[in-house]
Structure 1
């Protein structure tokens, strides 16, 4: 390069830095305006009290750093033609995301009432953290987002979930240094051990260290560069540091380091895609950005340090409406960005600055990857009937329900192998949960060393296992939010670990449904197995069915709870759930060998209804009222209810017993409360208006009362379920401890049917004696009594399911 060329390149570079710095100032100006201003958006006149919001809400501290990153990503998108998804990890980075999507034009396209001129800017400012407006954090309303900004700990795992099977996508994931202190985020760094550069996209983590949380220093920010480099090298990353206070040197440094990081990514992917990746796991780049908290804001307020300190975290100037001195600080702060050099007379961004943003779907606010429903393709599903069990009569087959499901999921994997849009995730439990058949067509993905004796590990596996429920949940959320499908299998007791994540996802779905521009995404599907009633080997710590209670609190349009009693109903329900969208589906099913109740035809009819009378199990002719209703929901409760019914039928042949099985728990609610709820007349047709109902439920009894409390017959609902009693014991002893067993259920029927207690004294005494016998037997022999283990529905009680 000759001297003239070098001078031209240097001048162009300086011009570019100056333009980027002005664009950054525009984003900072708009961010401050959102927090503070009701009117006078371009400071055309001196700032007055009435121009300032009466309630100042929002977070400034992290915002200038986010704006800095965004403008630099705009450059590389434009120069390299990249598809970049921006994930904003720092808690309340909403001002930055809104500001930048407005500057690039996406915001006004989605919300035409928020135009690109001065009036649009006024509305943009007014709506922020204002009644009827938008939240202060990144939310579903924010274009370009898939990540709830206040949900600390999950930015990085969402980022990796988004790039699995998205080979052309780069996710720039900003990790705040407060968020970096959380356990889930610390574990999420290991997601690079599951990223295949031949078939997946890339995550560029940007650790944003501005030094402080709400009122304390952050751990990572107080570590020096040597220690940080060692930490992230140990995680498997190559860190590039961008550090300083002065804008121009920082812009230059960020330009160089960002280009280097993206060159590394391109080199890794090019090599992997040329020959497949069989060597050592690649060393992925990351950026460590050290910048002042509250950068470019007030240095001091009321004589106290603000910039580069925790006081800049939220609203640095707290009383700009009521305090003239504070208002002067705010006005000087906003004028320091020189808005007259950023916006034209109409309030639009100047053309030379607007030209810095990418165009069309390359803009981070309008990338289809942030609106996954645009990319979603329906799964190709096998016919579940072809995999169903032959059940010639109730109890006429025995099987492990989840093992049968494993064959179905195997075929889902096979049929969608080319599309690469379905993954199975779980915390090291695919085999434990009897889903092994999936390994006939795929493996567990594993990018670390594979030993010759390892089984079912490969670079291109479709099963993702890591001993962290947080990572499994986060990967799946990121995968779904970018347009794909999946299922998470987990031990029932430990799914609670992700309660807060489920909460945020449910709220995301609820809000997204109200936004016409947000397209529906595939449902978040759970299979909960190794459940409370068969945790006899692990004991009390593993015995908790309360996830259903938690999920039931969410909006009715969002949640579904399924308790299939056998394998065929489990197949139907799983297929149904995989076809749904914008839902959270929770399926609870056991993995132990158990009697099977329903044929293919009866399973389908039962699941479509959600709840129904099992005529073959009762002793009531159609059209007659029963003396007692034996209700059940869940596989073990169903087994015990049928066993109790068998006792009552044999000992009290004149007693009119009706058996009602509930497979879709939300049918218990009124149809005015839930789309799957039964109308009162349909509920009464099952449970009657006046007869006692002995209801055996898989989980905590309170939930059944909660769902049915407005029903006419609620006072007659006597619910048996988990009473927080458990230990390491036999399967039947677990149900006895919680009074969910056949003997207690039969005793409850005797107690609550009017007049029955007197004439069934002998039977009641026998049942009490059986409980005493059981207790002695399990403590002597360490297993359940043979009559319990070997019980099945009597063959002569019904010729086939459905009769």
Structure 2
């Protein structure tokens, strides 16, 4: 950055610049209206006829002229200051505006060469918008310069802040619609400024766009007095600047001067911080822009007011094919922008418009941060085997898997410190999830007030904790989509809070994979711990493994779900996930002390297989098994092995095969998922006709959904979580859900035909032990000693 700027660094618009700026804005508005309505006749070279119009009018006008206005003025600022700027818009359906601007600046044609900057290209731009096989009505992965899926409201500001973390030269201008401002995630996101370090991070310019209405209701923040809005924004730590009006020339002059002042403030903050002169938390500027909804559109239609009302939200003239009056009004509206002054005979933008566009990568549609795979550097990952637990005999030692993982993540932080391209996010749970070893390598980033009792807080930390799952995921998404790496750690039950955010990111990844100009980005990695089977102390409210079910609805090429059974498999899975690209990886692992089953080399092989026979636990060597005991998850693995040990002791003649599943996707057919097993592989592992008892971490019916096509599906019996929870002991949780070792033994006795009468005594013992367990836990508040102290004996 150049030398220190001043807040008086304002360049008033002269008449020529005002004329050119307004012409650019008119061109963007014309192109936006054309996308909503026109199939043909893009330059209105002939009178508008029915055949020139789209049969279905889809899209939104109301927010678009305001978005175009901001884009034009950001272009001016970029050209004057040579700033690196991304544009994130929160209003849900501003697609026409962003496509119009990217076409004007040439980035649309670079991404889609068939849509050139000429009359035919303009016709294609219009035709493809909200048209079968064309472009979405909202900003999406297909939109050059975008990282934010505009279909759902609430996440724009978190994405913007995530983008500027560790990007000191980047400015993200984030337009927040007044409807979006009513959502919970956005309301929370105002407070991310408490985590932004002006010395090492970039800057976000929030632009609260008040145009008064949502679909057909007033917007809350647009209807409160300015002093109340001012108090709200200042209370969130911002300095508000206001631009308010509807007369274009006056608005252009005010907007240009205000953005100059704001950029001066940002420059002062960053310069002072980077020179070591700023020690407290800065108050960043926020721009409040108030414009009419549907600005420059029809004032009135059929005697009803349109501009500056909710009626301009979508299609102001909805009957242009059937109603000649509406058609004439549309033609007048389009011609009001004077297209002949804006585009030459070829249909290309005239030189004075082109002169408004920044050069090369400074164009917001071409900003490389908005195509983060272009900037992505592979992580330097320490060899996880060096952190692995020594396992001389299965089950002979115990450890806390996530605590060991934390030591590896600490060194991932250290190994990539010079790139500053890896962060850990979580809602107040890093230490609770036993990942606190990372604090030996970094701290939690925090620019708020510090007190003597605080621990692990610093201005330049690489961990961000905020008790909002929405904000944590939004920051991570913004960080990933601009070319970095990260991990979100969360209690399993509460990751549901971001179900919808996950949806949007998965859709983004699916779409971006089909765009040859989009480059792969680092995967979004979830570590879900404090899981259902060890939330016995917090109780029923904290017991829910259903996020896996939600994730499994998405496209197979995007989704991966891992259930490592012990510490070393967790390390192997984590290493794999941080190396991967363009996935959503869900890893569910415990934080409590659990037995260690596999050494490092065995863990690597097992994770590579995804699912496999544990021969050391099985008793079917050289013959067909009588029963397959399968498990997926750490608690199910423990119970299956304990049940197997009972069967080995009491029924030594029984041939038991133990199968452990790390990669849940392996259960799907190979035709449905890249990780899926062929039928031959599945049959070899699970047999074609023997009983299969599968203890699963989550809701049982998901396993049936994954395996219903398999030849032996009729013999697969699944035990898992069935909404039976409370504050109780760890083992009582599995008993309540019928996934305990004694219940599993009973299941074997009930499903292996030859065991019926001869095993009656064992069955009775299992029933009695469950009864004894119930009485013991209620008398002693702990598990039966034979359960609590059980160790695998080979």
Q: TM-score, normalised by structure 2?
A: 0.98
Residues 180-199 of structure 1 aligned to structure 2 (within 5 Å): 180-199=181-200
Per-residue Cα deviation, 1:65-90 (whole angstroms, up to 9, x for no partner): 00000000000000100010000110
Does 1:545 pair with 2:545?
Answer: yes
1:47 counterpart residue number = 48
Question: 2:61, 2:671 → 1: CA distance?
Answer: 43
Residues 505-516 of structure 1 aligned to structure 2 (within 5 Å): 505-516=505-516
Question: 2:172, 2:47 → 1: CA distance?
Answer: 42
Question: 2:126, 2:394 → 1: CA distance?
Answer: 65
Question: 2:474, 2:662 → 1: CA distance?
Answer: 28
Per-residue Cα deviation, 1:658-684 (whole angstroms, up to 9, x for no partner): 000000000000111111111111111
Does the CA-based 8 Å contact 1:198-1:276 persist in structure 2? no
Question: 1:775, 1:609 → 2: CA distance?
Answer: 39
SS in 1 for 2:275: helix
Tell me the CA shift for residue 153 of structure 1: 0.2
Question: 2:607, 2:353 → 1: CA distance?
Answer: 58
Tell me the CA shift for residue 302 of structure 1: 1.1
SS in 2 for 1:72: helix
2:568 counterpart residue number = 568
Question: 2:711, 2:547 → 1: CA distance?
Answer: 27
Does 1:291 pair with 2:291?
Answer: yes
Does the CA-based 8 Å contact 2:55-2:321 persist in structure 1? yes
Residues 242-391 of structure 1 aligned to structure 2 (within 5 Å): 242-275=243-276, 277=278, 279-391=279-391
Does 1:714 pair with 2:694?
Answer: no
1:233 counterpart residue number = 234
Question: 2:262, 2:12 → 1: CA distance?
Answer: 24
Question: 2:689, 2:527 → 1: CA distance?
Answer: 36
Question: 2:302, 2:653 → 1: CA distance?
Answer: 86
SS in 2 for 1:365: helix
Tell me the CA shift for residue 520 of structure 1: 0.2
Question: 1:522, 1:240 → 2: CA distance?
Answer: 37
Residues 36-75 of structure 1 aligned to structure 2 (within 5 Å): 36-75=37-76
Does the CA-based 8 Å contact 1:159-1:173 persist in structure 2? yes
Does the CA-based 8 Å contact 2:536-2:733 persist in structure 1? yes
SS in 2 for 1:658: strand
SS in 2 for 1:240: strand
Q: 1:364 to 1:762 in 2, by over 3 A?
A: same
Question: 1:630, 1:203 → 2: CA distance?
Answer: 54
1:131 counterpart residue number = 132
Question: 2:132, 2:154 → 1: CA distance?
Answer: 28
Does the CA-based 8 Å contact 2:12-2:257 persist in structure 1? no
Does the CA-based 8 Å contact 2:50-2:321 persist in structure 1? yes
Question: 1:474, 1:561 → 2: CA distance?
Answer: 21
1:726 counterpart residue number = 725
Question: 2:649, 2:161 → 1: CA distance?
Answer: 59
Return 5+ residue gaps in structure 2 as ranges: 1-9
1:784 counterpart residue number = 783
Per-residue Cα deviation, 1:99-144 (whole angstroms, up to 9, x for no partner): 0000001111111100101110001000000111111100110000
1:663 counterpart residue number = 662
Tell me the CA shift for residue 11 of structure 1: 9.8
Question: 2:274, 2:312 → 1: CA distance?
Answer: 46
Tell me the CA shift for residue 341 of structure 1: 0.9
2:6 counterpart residue number = none
Question: 1:462, 1:351 → 2: CA distance?
Answer: 46
Tell me the CA shift for residue 594 of structure 1: 1.0
Tell me the CA shift for residue 276 of structure 1: 6.5
Residues 622-701 of structure 1 aligned to structure 2 (within 5 Å): 622=622, 624-701=623-700
Does 1:105 pair with 2:106?
Answer: yes
2:7 counterpart residue number = none
Does the CA-based 8 Å contact 2:13-2:256 persist in structure 1? no
| Structure 1 residue ranges (4+ consecutive) displaced by more than 2 angstroms after TM superposition | 9-12
Tell me the CA shift for residue 453 of structure 1: 2.1
Tell me the CA shift for residue 10 of structure 1: 9.8
2:5 counterpart residue number = none
Tell me the CA shift for residue 12 of structure 1: 6.3
Does the CA-based 8 Å contact 2:130-2:137 persist in structure 1? yes
2:4 counterpart residue number = none
Question: 2:484, 2:617 → 1: CA distance?
Answer: 42
Question: 2:681, 2:382 → 1: CA distance?
Answer: 33
1:83 counterpart residue number = 84
1:6 counterpart residue number = none
Tell me the CA shift for residue 60 of structure 1: 0.2
1:5 counterpart residue number = none
2:417 counterpart residue number = 417
Question: 2:178, 2:189 → 1: CA distance?
Answer: 14
Q: 1:12 to 1:85 in 2, by over 3 A?
A: closer
Residues 412-451 of structure 1 aligned to structure 2 (within 5 Å): 412-451=412-451
Does the CA-based 8 Å contact 1:426-1:472 persist in structure 2? yes
